[in-house]
Amino acid sequence: MLRTVITDAPFEQTWVLQGRLCGQWAIDIRNEWEETRSSREGRTCVVNLEDVISVDSVGEKALLQMATEGARLASSRAYMKHLLASLRVPQG
């Protein structure tokens, strides 16, 4: 299961992901990311991965897309830091 909370502020959009970024949930988050692209335009986007407990290859692709499109991926947990480093995603 994956829980997603999106918070909009005038200059920033924050995504908080909690749970498993795997399979259909990863596909759903990628679709949601693409659908909300225009609402992020001109704003900073932070994706909080603090409570993500597992990521499969589909989830990795979603994270890469987010990072490529300018999102700052953030987590202090060793698992996520290692995963982001292995994907060569800048961490914020």
Q: What is the residue-averaged pLDDT of the chain?
A: 93
Residue 3 pLDDT: 96
Distance CA 1, CA 13 (A): 22
Q: pLDDT-derived band of residue 89, with 50, 70 and 90 as boundaries?
A: confident
CB neighbour burial string for 67-85, b if at least 16 within 10 angstroms, e if fewer: beeebbbbbeeeebeebbe
Distance CA 21, CA 56 (A): 7
22 CB neighbour count, 10 Å cutoff: 19
pLDDT digits (tens, 9 = 90+) for 17-53: 999 999 999 999 999 999 999 888 889 999 999 999 9
Model pTM score: 0.91
